[in-house]
């Protein structure tokens, strides 16, 4: 006799794992989309470039300050 709706413990664990993976994937896609298509912190892409150049050592702090004043005026 076949019992409809009967699942053993392994089946329930597998279904729960699949749900965690599914919803985790959905959350990851949403986070990735927000990070990719979101705006920068202050909405100034020029300042972001300037900060990254200072961090990488391409410009000195004096050049950073001089350029920052020009960008903000």
Model confidence pLDDT, tens digit, residues 21-52: 999 999 999 999 988 887 655 567 888 899 99
In a domain, 3, yes or no: no
- 27 and 50 share a domain? no
pLDDT at 28 (0 to 100): 96
> Residue 73: inside a domain, yes or no?
yes
Is the domain of 49 the same as that of 69?
A: yes
Q: How confident is the model at residue 12 (pLDDT cuts 50, 70, 90)?
A: confident
Helix (H) or strand (E) holding 35, with range, is helix 9-37
Q: Is residue 53 part of a domain?
A: yes
Longest dimension (CA), the chain: 84
Higher pLDDT, 9 or 11: 11
Whether 27 and 46 share a structural domain: no
State the pTM of this model. Answer: 0.45
Is residue 1 in some structural domain? no
Q: Does one domain contain both 44 and 69? A: yes
């Amino acid at each position: 006799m076949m019992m409809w709706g009967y699942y053993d413990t392994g089946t329930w664990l597998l279904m729960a794992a699949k749900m965690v993976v599914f919803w985790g994937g959905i959350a990851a896609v949403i986070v990735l989309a927000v990070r990719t298509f979101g705006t920068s912190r202050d909405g100034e892409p020029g300042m972001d470039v300037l900060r990254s150049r200072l961090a990488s050592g391409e410009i000195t702090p004096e050049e950073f300050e001089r350029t920052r004043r020009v960008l903000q005026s």
